[in-house]
Amino acid sequence: MRLLLLAPPGAGKGTQGDRLAARFGVEHIAAGDILRDQARADTPAGREIAAYQQRGDLVPDQIVLEVMMPRVEKAVEHGGYILDGFPRTLSQATAAAEIARQRGLTLDHVVYLHAPDEVLTRRMLHRAEQDGRGDDTAEVIAYRLRVFDQATRPLIDYYRGRGILVEVEADQTPDAVTGDILAAVSDV
């Protein structure tokens, strides 16, 4: 299974990524976690990534591709992947698709998880309280949702045009979302 979870922040990519990875016996590759780990590393690249994340900005495409594509390639060697949060821009998607095509890493499905902004905001504020996520402030959340609309939303049409997009309502219980995803990817 090679699946991408495409969703705004707070839609449940992490939860669903973990569940789907366990279900299919593949690696859950969470771009946000990987980039946060890089940001904690006291390296020039890590400090650069941290600065983007603190503002709520997307990390530049070249940095993301350099960090993520080797992980994807390794995951394919072990049976597949559930991607969460990568690619996030049309330029990342087209560059990643070309690399994936050349290396035999292409996606089987893209699942678009959607929910209203107020639901997403509530979830992220709750997550900030529970997990102590410093990047989940009301101001940064509002900005991240705008960034998603501007930078990531175009991927919906891109993947729809490739015939690999399925849509799932994320404003329901995690079990219901998982069931809807499994039904959608088994019907495609």
Q: What is the pLDDT of residues 152-166, one digit of tens each?
A: 999 999 999 999 999
Tokens of 25: 């016996």
Do the Cβ atoms of 13 and 125 come closer than 8 Å? no
CATH of the domain at 45: 3.40.50.300
Quote the number of domains for the chain.
Answer: 1
Q: Find the domain containing 78 and state its range.
A: 2-187
In the chain the first and final C-alpha atoms are separated, in Å, by 13
* pLDDT value at residue 187: 65
Contact 17, 82 (CB under 8 A): yes
d(C-alpha 73, C-alpha 75), whole Å: 5
pTM for the model:
0.88
Residue 168: pLDDT band with limits 50, 70, 90: very high
What pLDDT is stored for residue 188 in this prediction?
52
> What does 47-87 look like in DSSP terms, one character per residue?
HHHHHHHHHTPPPPHHHHHHHHHHHHHHHHHTT-EEEES--
Instruction: For residue range 70-86, list pLDDT tens digits in order.
Output: 999 999 999 999 999 89
Q: Which residues pair with 30 in a beta bridge?
A: 84
| Spatial CB neighbours of 41, under 8 Å, sequence gap ≥ 6 | none
The Cα 146–Cα 70 span in angstroms is 29
Confidence of residue 42 (pLDDT cuts 50, 70, 90): confident
Q: Which helix (H) or strand (E) holds 5?
A: strand 2-6
What is the average per-residue pLDDT within 128-132? 84
